[in-house]
């Protein structure tokens, strides 16, 4: 990372950026929605493109001087269309929540009914949570998971038939199993609903064929670009040509002003990286690492929601050991592991305390971690959960975590960081 320019003009901010780099370097990052971009993606995000206003879309802008950013945004569109095999893509949404907001604006009127996954069962804020615009402006019904931690599609169908939503949302922030988009479409067709697939978490797995694609089933697909997909922070909406105009208008002028062309350039770089065959190896390793981590925790006598994982994440269920997600996430931070507390299905604790910790492997896999490393990570987590009062074990856990951080340096120090 090139910090000299900032250092010369704003040492205060430069120092804090350095501190954050050091925190990332010395932490095993298991927050399931985070990743480490390549240096090329990061560099693209820090270019002169940040100076350009480009309201509108490529070759149909409201301001002059857009001939270069037109080419950049078109390239980003073409690459993401190829990556997912879709007819149309809008790469302007600033985030996943804004991508969802634009889809809602296009298909819904205030007060219309939507059916999404309940936040406490693994859904996302923007899928109808009462504290989000989606829960305030629309009439929300929710589905969850059964006692085994799986989506019960018969139950989703029953709720849909009873409530006749105008939009059904398939997708989650914390669901470790394969999502059956075909079944969701059958349910949507039965009640005349549109289907939105929010693949923010599993985007890289879908792009590489390691998770079934919603293309051909969902009317709209939204994703973020910064989770498994390993791009800059941002969102994308994909759909068939018949909805292209409506979706584009819902993004601008419907919900956003000028697009962030520097971020769009970084998205284009990330899509280019994801189109390379090596990216599939990365995505497969993400899954292998998550499975190994889940199995190591289970072998150590701990519970994992749904008994394992098919994708990049899993949730440790702490009810049996009588600890809270909040406490364990804080303990993990002390031993250089970052993860977030998360509710488990039917959680007796509040969302501020929770009985679970969500663990994801996208970031550590970028760093180079393999199954052998994940076994060590699983041992550290198990020790922290089971023997948090034992000073010797706790200190040993810290040393083990730091040794892994040393083994896989980040960015300019890190030859092992996967850049493709």
Catalytic residue among 224, 225, 292, 324: 224
Supply 404's token pair: 């892994």
Residue position matching structure tokens 């069962």: 121
Q: What share of the chain is helix, strand, coil (3-state, %, to 5)?
A: 50, 15, 35
Q: Examine residue 208 and tell whether it contacts ligand DSN (CB under 6 A).
A: no
Reading phi first (left if > 0) and then psi (alpha if -120 to 50, else beta), residue 128 is in left
Nearer to ligand DSN, 173 or 306 (CB): 173
Is 23 an annotated catalytic residue?
Answer: no
* CA pair distance 258, 243, nearest whole angstrom: 21
Is 224 an annotated catalytic residue?
Answer: yes
Residue position matching structure tokens 């959960």: 385
Is 227 an annotated catalytic residue?
Answer: yes
Length of the chain (residues): 420
Is 416 an annotated catalytic residue?
Answer: no
Considering only residues 74 through 113, tell me which ones interact with ligand DSN, judged by CB under 6 A. Answer: 96
Least distance CB 124 / ligand DSN (angstroms): 6
Name the nearest CA neighbour of 381 among 28, 36, 20, 24: 28
Nearer to ligand DSN, 33 or 315 (CB): 33
Nearer to ligand DSN, 57 or 358 (CB): 358
Nearer to ligand DSN, 124 or 211 (CB): 124
Size of the site for ligand DSN (CB under 6 A): 4
Using CB under 6 A as the criterion, what x/- string covers residues 221-260 for binding ligand DSN? ----------------------------------------
Asked if 257 and 175 touch (Cβ cutoff 8 Å), the reply is: no
Q: 27, 33, 228, 324: which one contacts ligand DSN (CB under 6 A)?
A: 33
Asked if 187 and 156 touch (Cβ cutoff 8 Å), the reply is: yes
Q: Examine residue 124 and tell whether it contacts ligand DSN (CB under 6 A).
A: yes
Question: Which residues, at least 6 apart from 353, have a Cβ–Cβ distance to it below 8 Å?
Answer: 324, 325, 326, 341
Question: Which residues, at least 6 apart from 214, have a Cβ–Cβ distance to it below 8 Å?
Answer: 170, 179, 181, 195, 197, 199, 206, 221
Nearer to ligand DSN, 33 or 285 (CB): 33
Least distance CB 243 / ligand DSN (angstroms): 23
Is 9 an annotated catalytic residue?
Answer: no
Burial class (CB in 10 A: 0-12, 13-18, 19+), 60: exposed
Closest-approach residue to ligand DSN (CB): 33
Is 395 an annotated catalytic residue?
Answer: no
Using CB under 6 A, list all residues that contact ligand DSN: 33, 96, 124, 173
Instruction: Point out the residues that are catalytic.
Output: 53, 55, 198, 224, 227, 233
């Amino acid at each position: 990372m090139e910090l000299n320019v900032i250092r010369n003009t704003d040492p205060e901010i430069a120092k804090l950026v350095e501190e954050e780099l050091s925190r990332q370097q010395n932490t095993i990052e298991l927050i399931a929605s985070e990743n480490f971009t390549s240096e090329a993606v990061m560099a693209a995000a820090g270019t002169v493109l940040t100076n350009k206003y480009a309201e509108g879309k490529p070759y149909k802008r409201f301001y002059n001087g857009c001939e270069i950013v037109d080419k950049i945004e078109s390239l980003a569109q073409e690459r993401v269309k190829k990556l997912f095999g879709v007819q149309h893509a809008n790469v302007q949404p600033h985030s996943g929540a804004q991508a969802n907001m634009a889809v809602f604006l296009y298909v819904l009127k205030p007060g219309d009914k939507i059916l999404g996954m309940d936040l406490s069962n693994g859904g996302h804020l923007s899928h109808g949570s009462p504290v989000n615009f989606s829960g305030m402006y629309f009439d929300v019904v929710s589905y969850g998971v059964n006692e085994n931690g799986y989506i019960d599609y018969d139950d989703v169908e029953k709720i849909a038939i009873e409530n006749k939503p105008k939009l059904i949302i398939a997708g989650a922030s914390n669901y470790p199993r394969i999502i059956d988009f075909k079944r969701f479409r059958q349910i949507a067709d039965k009640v005349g609903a549109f289907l939105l697939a929010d693949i923010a978490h599993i985007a890289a797995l879908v792009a590489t064929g390691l998770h079934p694609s919603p293309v051909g089933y969902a009317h709209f697909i939204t994703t973020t670009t910064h989770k498994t997909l390993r791009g800059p922070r941002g969102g994308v909406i994909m759909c068939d040509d018949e909805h292209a105009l409506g979706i584009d208008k819902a993004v601008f002028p419907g919900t956003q002003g000028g697009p962030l062309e520097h971020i769009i350039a970084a998205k284009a770089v990330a899509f280019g990286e994801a189109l390379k065959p090596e990216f599939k190896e990365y995505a497969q390793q993400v899954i292998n690492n998550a499975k190994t981590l889940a199995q190591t925790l289970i072998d150590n006598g701990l519970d994992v929601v749904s008994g394992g994982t098919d994708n990049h994440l899993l949730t440790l269920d702490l009810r049996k050991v009588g600890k809270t997600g909040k406490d364990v996430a804080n303990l993990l931070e002390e031993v250089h592991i970052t993860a977030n507390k998360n509710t488990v299905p039917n959680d007796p604790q509040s969302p501020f305390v929770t009985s679970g910790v969500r663990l994801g492997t996208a970031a550590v896999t970028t760093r180079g971690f393999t199954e052998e490393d994940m076994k060590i990570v699983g041992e550290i987590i198990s020790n922290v959960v089971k023997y948090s009062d034992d000073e010797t074990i706790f200190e040993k856990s810290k040393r083990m975590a730091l040794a892994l951080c040393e083994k896989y340096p980040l960015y300019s120090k890190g030859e092992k960081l996967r850049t493709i």
